[in-house]
Amino acid sequence: MKLVYLDNAATTRVDPQVFRTMRPYFTQKYGNPSEVHSLGRQAKEAVEKSREQVAGMLGCKNAEVIFTGSATESINLSHKGLIEALLPQFQNGRRPHIITSTVEHKAVLETCAHLETLGRAKVTYLQVDKYGMVSIYDVRKEVRPETVLVSVMYVNNEVGTIQPVSQIGRLLKAINHERTHNKPHIYFHTDATQAVQYLDCGADKLGVDLLSFTGHKIYAPKGVGALFVKTGTPLIRQLDGGDQERKLRSGTENVPYIVALGKAVELSQKSKIKRQKEMERLRDKLIKGVLEIPGVSLTGHPKIRAPHLASFIVEGVEGEALQLLLSDKKVIVSTGSACTSQSLTPSHVLSAVGIPAELAHGSLRVSLGKDTTEEEIGYTLKVLREATEKLREMAPDLSELRGAFATI
């Protein structure tokens, strides 16, 4: 069996079509888009074509798309830039208020914590249910006169639950309509990193003012992302030194990678519904087979979940040991989020949904890609069962260990 790559929620391989499209911009069409000579104009046209491709996916104006280096940078720009722009409206010790959830990506959580530490904002972290789902009623309950930003991700990157983003968007639109002139507008951000390939990311449909995503989850290279900024949304740039990207993101544009992002977005929209249904079929086959292994449970919502992502708790097994054993069998999976897997602490997402720390260490995340086959799913189920049984046989008897410690 060739390598079975099932860690597409962490990163994807660059699509050959994407690579062919970006390649000339390294050695042939290498001009600086800020220059007016022929090579500069050529690069500028390529950047604007990509902007049009991304805007087409989002159903927004071209000028509302800002290219960045990653989803993380997009999130930092949206949150820090918005709060910094709105701070002058707050006097006498009042501070802008942010509502987010406990299961957001660390880019959101740590940016919010940074703003709170600096005294620039107050933050409310919404609890979630056992599936990792945010309640729109909790959002409504936590809105204050000082609330200026709600940030809720579209798809959770660890357990795959789809959040009720469009319902939250409609709620905030109604609240903003009712607000008097002395209360600030509430802006809505969503991290759509795990959603753009499969779900409708129309900005108007979702009701968002800000939307972030990255290229390397959709078969573009690592190092490029985008931020949708609805017209009229106030932002102060976080990188100074130039007037690129509507003066919101200084620095010479990374033309080859921006070209790659545009092409990846274009490809992701072709046969989207057909690809989603096939992905769901393979995902459901995977989930059914994995749950036939004793002592394994599914995390995230059983139905309202992204088509490419399944997450499990495997009792009696360390997730990293399982990951390494599967890797030896040429099956590549993840144990939780790749962004936080270097930490020895349990996943904050699994903790938020109520999974005890000792079980959270046995997490397994499997994320399919556009090239995943039925044969690969079958092989994965076979070696996963074998690896789980082997690790459980190797595990020490915890009751004996407890007895040994009691005699010391």
In a domain, residue 407? The reply is: no
**Amino acid (one-letter) located at 192:** A
In a domain, residue 254? The reply is: yes
Bridge partners of 334, per DSSP, are 365
Q: What is the pLDDT of residue 404?
A: 38
- Residues 249 and 348 occupy one common structural domain: no
Enter the pTM of the model. 0.94
Q: What is the pLDDT of residue 272?
A: 84
Q: What is the pLDDT of residue 251?
A: 97
- Residues 260 and 362 occupy one common structural domain: no
More confident position, 336 or 205: 205
Q: How confident is the model at residue 48 (pLDDT cuts 50, 70, 90)?
A: very high
Structure tokens at 90: 């707050």
Q: What is the pLDDT of residue 92?
A: 87
- Residues 319 and 190 occupy one common structural domain: no
In a domain, residue 45? The reply is: yes
Q: How many Å apart are CA 47 and CA 36, to the nearest integer? A: 14
- Residues 366 and 245 occupy one common structural domain: no
To the query of whether residue 201 is one of the catalytic residues in this protein, the response is no
CATH number, residue 42: 3.40.640.10
How would you classify the pairing of strands 309-314 and 331-332? unpaired
- Asked if pLDDT for residue 401 goes beyond 80, the answer is no
In a domain, residue 405? The reply is: no
Residue 386: helix, strand or coil by DSSP? Answer: helix
Render pLDDT for 290-301 as a digit per residue (tens, 0 to 9): 999 999 999 999
CATH number, residue 289: 3.90.1150.10
- Asked if pLDDT for residue 402 goes beyond 90, the answer is no
Q: What is the pLDDT of residue 343?
A: 57
Last residue of a domain, one of 254, 269, 284: 269
Nearest to 255 by CA among 39, 65, 62: 39
Q: How many Å apart are CA 261 and CA 194, to the nearest integer? A: 15
Q: What is the pLDDT of residue 275?
A: 85
**Amino acid (one-letter) located at 258:** I
Least confident of 8-22, 139-153, 275-289, 394-408: 394-408
Q: Decide: 238 and 75 in contact? Cβ < 8 Å.
A: no
Write down the catalytic residue from 60, 112, 201, 339: 339
- Residues 203 and 96 occupy one common structural domain: yes
Render pLDDT for 337-372 as a digit per residue (tens, 0 to 9): 445 555 567 899 999 999 999 899 999 999 999 999
In a domain, residue 368? The reply is: yes
Last residue of a domain, one of 234, 269, 304: 269
Q: How many Å apart are CA 92 and CA 214, to the nearest integer? A: 39
- Residues 203 and 323 occupy one common structural domain: no
- Asked if pLDDT for residue 407 goes beyond 80, the answer is no
- Residues 104 and 180 occupy one common structural domain: yes
91-118 in b/e burial notation, b at 16+ Cβ within 10 A? eeeebbbbbbbbbbbbbbbebbeebeee
In angstroms, what CA-CA distances link 25 with 60, 68, 252?
Answer: 26, 18, 14
In a domain, residue 89? The reply is: yes
Q: How many Å apart are CA 277 and CA 175, to the nearest integer? A: 36
Q: How confident is the model at residue 190 (pLDDT cuts 50, 70, 90)?
A: very high
Q: Which domain, by its residues, includes 315?
A: 4-12+271-400
- Residues 71 and 191 occupy one common structural domain: yes
Q: What is the pLDDT of residue 56?
A: 97
Q: How confident is the model at residue 273 (pLDDT cuts 50, 70, 90)?
A: confident
For 67-157, where are the alpha helices, taking DSSP H only? 71-86, 106-117, 136-142
Q: How confident is the model at residue 397 (pLDDT cuts 50, 70, 90)?
A: low
Number of domains in the chain: 2
Q: Decide: 310 and 287 in contact? Cβ < 8 Å.
A: yes
Q: How confident is the model at residue 180 (pLDDT cuts 50, 70, 90)?
A: confident
- Residues 152 and 261 occupy one common structural domain: yes
Least confident of 123-127, 240-244, 395-399: 395-399
- Residues 61 and 153 occupy one common structural domain: yes
- Residues 168 and 239 occupy one common structural domain: yes
Residue 65: helix, strand or coil by DSSP? Answer: strand
Reduced 3-state DSSP string for 211-267: EEEECCCCCCCCCCEEEEECCCCCCCCCCCCCCHHHHCCCCCCCHHHHHHHHHHHHH
In a domain, residue 408? The reply is: no
Q: What is the pLDDT of residue 210?
A: 98
Locate tokens 């290229």: which residue? Answer: 215
In a domain, residue 292? The reply is: yes
- Residues 197 and 280 occupy one common structural domain: no
Q: How confident is the model at residue 93 (pLDDT cuts 50, 70, 90)?
A: confident
Q: How confident is the model at residue 23 (pLDDT cuts 50, 70, 90)?
A: very high
Per-chain mean pLDDT for the chain? 94
Render pLDDT for 123-146 as a digit per residue (tens, 0 to 9): 999 999 999 999 999 999 999 999
Last residue of a domain, one of 234, 253, 269: 269
